[in-house]
Amino acid sequence: MTTPLTCRNYIDGKWLSATGGATLESRNPAVSRELVATFPRSAAADIDTAVAAARKAYRTWRLVPAPARAEYIQRVGELLLKHKEELAQLMSREMGKPLTEARGDVQEGIDCAYYSAGEGRRLFGQTIPSEMPNKFAMTVRMPIGVCALITPWNFPVAIPCWKAMPALVCGNTVILKPAEDTPACATKLIEIFAEAGLPPGVINLVHGVGEEAGKALVEHPEVDLVSFTGSSETGAFVGATCGRTHKRVCLEMGGKNAQIVMEDADLELALDGAVWGAFGTAGQRCTATSRLLLHRDIKEKFTVMLKERTSQLRLGAGTDPNIDVGPLVNASQLERVSKYLDIAREEGAKVLMGGEIATEGELKHGYFFQPTILDEVTPEMRVAREEIFGPVVALIEVNSFEEAIAILNDTPYGLSSSIYTRDINRAFTAMRDIEAGITYINGPTIGAEVHLPFGGVKQTGNGHREAGTAVLDVFTEWKTVYVDFSGSLQRAQIDNRS
């Protein structure tokens, strides 16, 4: 086994232990006896130090021209490319996803760096004609200040990059609080930011437990913005706290995504999308396909196809190039998924395949759950409405296109959605009527691109979007500027007409 890493906080350009000296452990979810890293259990005092460093750095960083700020992010992208395989291997060991997916995670960070760097020359405002003579009007983007970024474990490179890179290009300073399950990935990522030459205090890293370090960060009076990705329950606390303390807040939370398969669909293509959407990252994606809405005319045939393809999936450690599905991230997540299978059985769902913790051979040393198909699911069941976050997909039979849309929309969430059909009228109707931030036509519910907005509606988010140009509205404030060169007082909205 590889020698465990010793992770530290990164504050004001220095690598530091937690003030109290307490540490936590990160273990390989495929082989739980393997210690991947130790990391600080930070407390409020560590948060105070990080916020003070970020506040001090903000005073000068905001004055660096945006194209020059962007050059640092361009260098981060180049370094991520250089360290791509190293990061992917570490990611597979630390949170379990297969290497092919881990490489894609890092590539998303690289893509985000190059895209964000380009935006450094495109932080456009507008010039707008004034209603008065000899008066000039324009809008400009201004940075927010100190940004707290709280990120999950399922995309431990991509999501921090989605948040940190545009935040920094916009002139903010950043404190990253990563998930407890992926401290080593976060440490390596921040090492790369440091290697790119970012000034001390511009980007900071604080490890710890959400209820301690995360809570202190959200509540800190000198934090101006919180960007959070995680559960809807925690997001509700973050949103309420920020509302009470007048902080800018961006929330990206849960999903209960559905893929509709109509009777006229290309079933082989729909099958590819369903398997990838349901079982990629072992279902541990906010965009995972957790419901399949199958038209009654093709349900029986498609179900046979799905069972056959699912039976071929190979479980194992993410570092094994021959596997398809890795472990769940920790024992708590394994217990959560297992309990949802108990709930499914109690509610009357039929377990067509899987449904159990995988313990054969080497799998007994990790947190593996069998890829699972639930049949005879009805829309009111908990397994059809609540986010499971595991390799479980529920089959729901529908009689019509209209019924499929109604059932898809009938959840508290609205992140991603998908429909497979050859009917262009249905496709455009689905684009209009589906209540979700993302809709795919003849594609799976997963697979976002960094230059398009990402986010959802209802309990999935709070109206903001990450990625694309939309993220600039998260990390900047609009300022309107008037220049009156008339030499006299001109009063707006005063009727001076004779």
Catalytic residues: 252, 286
**CA torsion angle for 69, 71, 75, 80 (degrees, to 10)?**
60
Site of tokens 């009076």: 221
| Three-class HEC string of the chain | CCCCEECCEEECCEEECCCCCCEEEEECCCCCCCEEEEEECCCHHHHHHHHHHHHHHHHHHCCCCHHHHHHHHHHHHHHHHHCHHHHHHHHHHHHCCCHHHHHHHHHHHHHHHHHHHHHCCCCCCEEEECCCCCEEEEEEEEECCEEEEECCCCCCCHHHHHHHHHHHHCCCEEEEECCCCCHHHHHHHHHHHHHCCCCCCCEEECCCCHHHHHHHHHHCCCCCEEEEECCHHHHHHHHHHHHHHCCEEEEECCCCEEEEECCCCCHHHHHHHHHHHHHHHHHCCCCCEEEEEEECCCHHHHHHHHHHHHHCCCECCCCCCCCCECCCCCHHHHHHHHHHHHHHHHHCCEEEECCCECCCHHHHHCCCECCEEEECCCCCCHHHCCCCCCCEEEEEEECCHHHHHHHHHCCCEECEEEEECCCHHHHHHHHHHCCCCEEEECCCCCCCCCCCCECCEECCECCCCECCHHHHHHHEEEEEEEEECCCCCCCCCCCCCC
